Structure formats: structure tokens, C-alpha cells
Structure 1
Amino acid sequence: MNLRQTINSVQAHEKELALFNIDADERIDEELRSFFRTQNVRITTAQTASGCPEEIAVLAAGETVLAVVEVETLRELVDGAGAQSRRLGVTDTAYSEVLSHLKETTFTSCETADMLYASREIEDRARRNGTGTVHAGFQRCSTIVSQQAIYEDLSRTGVSVHAYGVPDVTPPELAGGQVHAVGGEIADLWFVVYDGGSEESQKSALLAEEDSAGRFYGFWTYDSAIVDSVCQYLTETYLGGNGQFPQFRA
């Protein structure tokens, strides 16, 4: 799959959190929609003829039930969560029975601040690990210039860095890394992908596409299969599978 197809594929795997037999005046469904606004989950409510089970939430992916919890647990989650938990990623807490299924892949219309937060988190993972490869798509080479110091510092830790952008300016030199001047899909995509190096658990990726209104829509994930797929696509498409990079020609 190319990068746009990957975004569409992740979107198609939306989960559903169904709240059964809650009070008709209850606003917990609205609060959960706000709380999980960055997660690829749809919040629904349902009333059964018998009224049972009462105040139970069922998280499902298609026909597969992932978790069953009391709605009260979700109230506690919403009421007690700090601002950090409302970021793109959801931290593990006492509510991990639900959260563990929702934090792996987020899908959202992203604000620039959230995109930067996700990018920094992935870069920090790579920096702490000091091995592996980071692919970063900046849309334009002029943006690479503004992030040059961050990625040169990252490469000094031992991480292999590949930065991608349309050559709207002369592509900068990236000490310890490679800048690739390319066109096509790169012009519309913001991505930071880390292959995890020697640590499978560190694999992570942010991938989002800019629309005609200048908004980004995409995902942030720790799913190793998705990360591997994106890394493989970037390597085979832009590195020729062997490190030989086809340069963009205007």
C-alpha cells in the first residue's frame, strides 16, 4: 500500500464503544466523544427491551468484543483524566482494559500542535534507543531547514535519519543523515516513522495528509505491523530497496 492507502486502511478499522442502558439524561456519551476525539472509535448508546445489562460499555472491532466495562469506570476515567491523557496518545492507567485497545492507533483531524507533539514523542523514542531508522516527511525542504538541528542531533545518537521534502529551496545538508528531494505524494504528507531499532516495542509512526483547507487527517500508531508496512513502502519506493535514492526532478 502507498501512504494514502495506508491512511484509508487504518480509518476503515474503526472501533465502537457502545453504552447500554444509560440514563436518558446522561451526558457521558458526549463526554466520551470529546475525551476520545483523537481515537479511531465511535461512541454509541443503546437501550434494550429488558433494560439489561444496565450501564455496561462494550468495546468492539467489527464482530469481535475487545472489552466489557461498567460505564461508571468510564465516568471515573473522564472525571479524573489530566490534560496529558487527552493528547493523541492515551497513557496506561487503571483503565487499561479499555485504553490498551484504543491507544494503539489514533485517527483524527489533527491540529498542528498535536502533530508536533506526536512527532516529538516519536523522535524522543528514537533518541533514547539510539539505534534504528527514522523517516521524516516535511512536505517541503524549507521545513527541513527549520528542523535541521533536531534531526542532526538525532543522527548523532546513532539513529539513521532520512528526511523527505519537495525542493522549494536548495535541499540542506543534514549532518549524519540524508535529505531526499522528492515530489508526488510527499508534498501533501506529514510523517515521522521509527522502525524501533533493536526494540520491537519502540516502533511508532505518525502519518497524516493535508487537505485543501490546510488541515491534517491521519493517525499515530504503535502497531508494529503498520509501522513495518510504512517503513517497507518508503524504503522500496524512495530508497530503491537498497539505499539508492531516486532524486526528484522538477
Structure 2
Amino acid sequence: MRLDARFEQLAAGGVTNKRLAVIRRDGSTPLDSMLRRLFADQSVAVTVDSPELDGVDDDVAVLVEDEEIVATSPLSSLERAILMVNSDLYTTGALDLDDAALPTVLTGLADVPFRLRGYPLAHKEKLLPIAMSRQIELRAHRAGAGELHASFQRLSRIDDETGTRRAYERLGDDDVDVHVYGEPDWNPEAHLELTAHTGYGHGYSDSWFVVFDPPADAVGPHTTPVGLLALEEEPNVWRGVWTFRPGAVADLAETVRRQL
């Protein structure tokens, strides 16, 4: 199965009835506006000060599915993850791999298909999948085993982006079997402990995936499988989804192994 067919399968199994509710004692803040802009063209609604959510503390964000709360995070953690950062902090290395943990209300948006534009078409739309990608790399690092598959369109991005290079240097020090994919404009195998898969066109030039496939017998809080897949449907415009469903992650990892 090709990656585009795998994406359609993942997106078809997605959940679109989730919303973020911001509960606060004060009035609107820049975080509220940022969240609305971030999800303006997505299938996730953002509400502020929802009185129907009885029993929820002030100054928290909650993820609601079918009108049931499935995750709760302090607003302070959401501000650190969204308002106070941009994608440059991940690529330049200002945020270390250990700083990549995301609030559960954001990781809980798994199985929700998204569409986003990169800079200069938009300033922050790519922030969440970039942060989720680093979250997956952090999970692999903390697990210290299993396979990690990641695509970069051009392999030179690993070297050009200081934060990315540092992350993969640390992963290379673990027992994680790391595989990277992209156009062969740089040789990462000469510098890092990983396996490079190179090519052009579908899967190499137009895909964005990060997949952590843990060992079958893995146990512990950091051994849950997770995968993100996004495809470039037109220049600098992506559609994607991430999932924690073990079967879906295993299928995505197998598609990457077989196709690329």
C-alpha cells in the first residue's frame, strides 16, 4: 500500500467530534486568540469559558469528545507549548529534546485529520505537528529501544536544523533503530548512527512522517506506539494525522518499510 492510500485509511478512521474548551476566571487572553487561529481551518472547535463543564477548575484547558472530558491540562502548560514558542525554537535547538513533552489536551487530538500551511502562507499552523514530531522522537529516546522512522524531504535538513541534529545525535546514542528518509543531498550516515533511505518523488520528496514502533514485548509509560503522517498536497500545504492506535501505527511502519 502506498503512503497516500495509507493516509486515506488513517484519515477515514479519524475522530472529528473533539473540541478544546478553555476554562478561566479572567477574560480573554492572547492564548485564546492563538488557539482560535491555530484551529481556525481544522475540524477541532475552540470554546472559551464553557459553563456546561461543571466540576472543572478554572485556568485549565479540557479536551471534550462526545461531551465527555477526555483530557485536562493547566493553561500554563498550553501557553508554554503554543503561545510562547514557534517552530524556530525546535529547529534551532533552543528547545532541547527533553523539553518536547506536550500537554495531554494536544496529544489527545490523535486521529483528528488536519490541514496546514507552512511559512510564509501561515506563521504557526505547522507548529503543532512539528511539536508532535519532536514528542514522538522524545518517546523513542525515553523508551531506548524499538524503531523510529522519520522523513525530511531533503536529508540535509537534519544537518541544517541544529535542534533536529541534536535530537538525532541523542537517538543514535540509544538502542533505537533509527531510519531517515529523503532526497540524497547530504549523507547523515557519515555523521550519525542511523540508516538513510534516499530517493525522489512520492514518499521521499512529499511526505512527512515520524513513526515510533516499539518492541512487541515493550512495557512502560514511554512504549506506546505512535505515528504521524502528513502529505504535501500542493506546495507548502499539508494534510496529516497522528495516531496512538497500535494496529494503525504498525500498518504505517510496515508501509514505510515496504515502500521506501
Q: TM-score, normalised by structure 2?
A: 0.60
Q: Distance in 2 between matches of 1:102 and 1:39?
A: 18
- SS of residue matched to 1:116: helix
Q: Does 1:132 align with 2:128?
A: no
CA contact (8 A) 2:42 2:115 kept: no
Pairwise CA distance, 1:82: 3.8
**Bigger shift: residues 208-217 or 221-230:** 208-217
CA contact (8 A) 1:144 1:165 kept: no
CA contact (8 A) 1:39 1:107 kept: no
CA contact (8 A) 2:15 2:111 kept: no
Pairwise CA distance, 1:11: 2.4
Pairwise CA distance, 1:207: 1.1
**Bigger shift: residues 3-12 or 114-123:** 3-12
Task: Give the gaps of 5 or more residues in structure 1.
Answer: 19-30, 44-54, 57-65, 93-98, 239-250
CA contact (8 A) 1:152 1:177 kept: no
Mapping of 1:96-175 within 5 angstroms?
103-110=109-116, 111-146=125-160, 147-169=164-186, 172-175=189-192
**Bigger shift: residues 78-87 or 146-155:** 78-87
Note the alpha carbon deviations across 1:42-85, whole angstroms, 9 max, x for none. 66xxxxxxxxxxx79xxxxxxxxx74549xx9xx9999994368
Correspondence for 1:224: 246
CA contact (8 A) 1:140 1:168 kept: yes
CA contact (8 A) 2:73 2:103 kept: no
Q: Return the letter of the residue paired with 2:258.
A: E
Larger-Rg structure:
1
Task: Give the gaps of 5 or more residues in structure 2.
Answer: 20-32, 46-51, 54-64, 84-100, 117-124
> Aligned-residue CA RMSD in angstroms?
4.3
Correspondence for 1:213: 235
Pairwise CA distance, 1:228: 0.4
Q: TM-score, normalised by structure 1?
A: 0.62
Pairwise CA distance, 1:35: 9.2
- SS of residue matched to 1:128: helix
1:194 corresponds to which of 189, 207, 212: 212
Q: Distance in 2 between matches of 1:176 and 1:165?
A: 16
Note the alpha carbon deviations across 1:173-232, whole angstroms, 9 max, x for none. 243211111223211011111002324852111111123231222012212111100111
CA contact (8 A) 1:190 1:207 kept: yes
Correspondence for 1:63: none
Correspondence for 2:16: 15
Q: Higher relative contact order by CA 8 Å / sep ≥ 6: 1 or 2?
A: 2
- SS of residue matched to 1:184: coil
Pairwise CA distance, 1:171: 5.6
Note the alpha carbon deviations across 1:62-111, whole angstroms, 9 max, x for none. xxxx74549xx9xx999999436879x9845xxxxxx7996332321233
Distance change >3 Å, CA 14–CA 143, structure 1 → 2: same
